[in-house]
Amino acid sequence: MMEDSLEGRSPSRRLRVSVAWAGLRERGHELGLLGDSVPATDRLRAASLLVLYAWSAFVVADAIFAKAADNFDLAVPAPSHGVAMMSWYTVQSGALAGGLFVLGGAAIATPGFIALLRSGGWPSVRRPVQCAGAATAAAIVALAGLVALAHTVSRAQRNGGLLYHPVVGYYLAAFIATTLVLIAALAICTAAAVVVTRRIVLTERVVAIEAGLAVAVAVAMIVMTAATAAWWAAVGASAPWFIQGTSPGSQASAVDPNLVATMVLMVLASATACLGVVRVTRSWRHLRLG
């Protein structure tokens, strides 16, 4: 039909985008992320997995924030110290709670995974599981190597001025490489978890619990995003030099590329999780009506 309508002409950019968008839309319907064409339990599962993807991206942002906020309590003066500390503890508590919710979801899905293996379903998940195992091993080795290398430089060289200190260039290179390995391992493990979850058989009750945990993870992400913004505002107002990594008391801007990237990633991940929550809420309602 496209060939007939184009009559030998090259397709325009608008037509290419339209076809690609239509394909993505149909893929979304097939996965249960759009529309109501698949059963409510499948839509709940798809929405929960969407939140899991968002959480994986959020973990990266939280790691960047943890690095940026390292030892901030020694720099922030008393007037802003309380707000900054409360915000920091809120972020850490949210990370712990979100991690526990994700582990809880994995735990209640484990019987389904064991049943899949017993029924001869290992070949269908072997490759992603093996890739996840290899990626996890590589991440552990890289992280152990970075920890060992960190003992060869001073605390100041590890936590500030890495881009400008000529002696610690090798540590900076190792830090960046390790970070990339950890992000890749997280992405591979998340993809493997999604593949396995789509293969296993879960009861309606288990799917509903998973969806509830996904909502809890999304709430934790939203709270952590707000707390990170509050921390940035408090530290930026009282000790902007800490954010920039310059000498104490010096004039500096509170706008830092790392924190900007952190906030953008947190907001995007939280927005994605909210889309999952909307799907969960709607699918729950249809499930009850059914």
pLDDT-based confidence at residue 160 (cuts at 50, 70, 90): low
For residues 217 and 153, the model is more confident at: 217
Residue 165 has what pLDDT? 44
Distance CA 105, CA 131 (A): 21
Buried residues in 231-253 as b, exposed as e (16+ CB within 10 A): bbebbbebbbbbbbbeeeeeebe
Angle between helix 40-68 and helix 169-199 axes, rounded to 10 deg = 170
Q: C-alpha angle 276/189/146, rounded to 5°?
A: 120
Query: What pTM value is reported for the model?
Result: 0.85
CA proximity to 232, closest of 193, 262, 190, 195: 262
pLDDT-based confidence at residue 73 (cuts at 50, 70, 90): confident
Buried residues in 10-45 as b, exposed as e (16+ CB within 10 A): eeeeeeeeeeeeeeeeeeeeebbbbeeebebbebbb
Integer angstrom CA distances of residue 89 from 92, 132, 206: 5, 31, 32
Residue 168 has what pLDDT? 62
pLDDT-based confidence at residue 134 (cuts at 50, 70, 90): very high
**For all residues of the chain together, what is the average pLDDT?**
85
All residues at 6 or more sequence positions from 244 whose CB lies less than 8 Å from its CB, including other chains: 252, 253, 256
Residue 162 has what pLDDT? 44
Q: C-alpha angle 165/169/173, rounded to 5°?
A: 140
3-state secondary structure of 249: coil
Distance CA 16, CA 145 (A): 47
Look-up of token digits 């960190």: 150
Distance CA 176, CA 170 (A): 10
Residue 23 has what pLDDT? 82
Distance CA 168, CA 107 (A): 42
pLDDT-based confidence at residue 164 (cuts at 50, 70, 90): very low
Q: What is the largest CA-CA distance in the chain?
A: 73
pLDDT-based confidence at residue 117 (cuts at 50, 70, 90): very high
The answer, yes or no, to whether residue 28 has pLDDT greater than 80, is no
Residue 258 has what pLDDT? 84
The answer, yes or no, to whether residue 161 has pLDDT greater than 80, is no
Q: Taking the domains of the chain in order of start, what are their residue ranges? A: 57-289
What average pLDDT does range 16-36 have in this prediction? 76
Amino acid letter, 237: A
HSE-CB of 45 using CA atoms within 13 angstroms: 25
Q: What is the DSSP letter of 11?
A: P
What average pLDDT does range 168-183 have in this prediction? 84
Residue 95 tokens read as 């990370």
Distance CA 170, CA 258 (A): 21
What average pLDDT does range 154-176 have in this prediction? 63
What average pLDDT does range 127-145 have in this prediction? 95
Residue 216 has what pLDDT? 97
Cβ–Cβ < 8 Å for 58, 265: yes
pLDDT tens column, 180-232: 999 999 999 999 999 999 899 988 889 999 999 999 999 999 999 999 999 99
What average pLDDT does range 101-126 have in this prediction? 93
Span of 12-21, 40-49, 122-131 with lowest mean pLDDT: 12-21
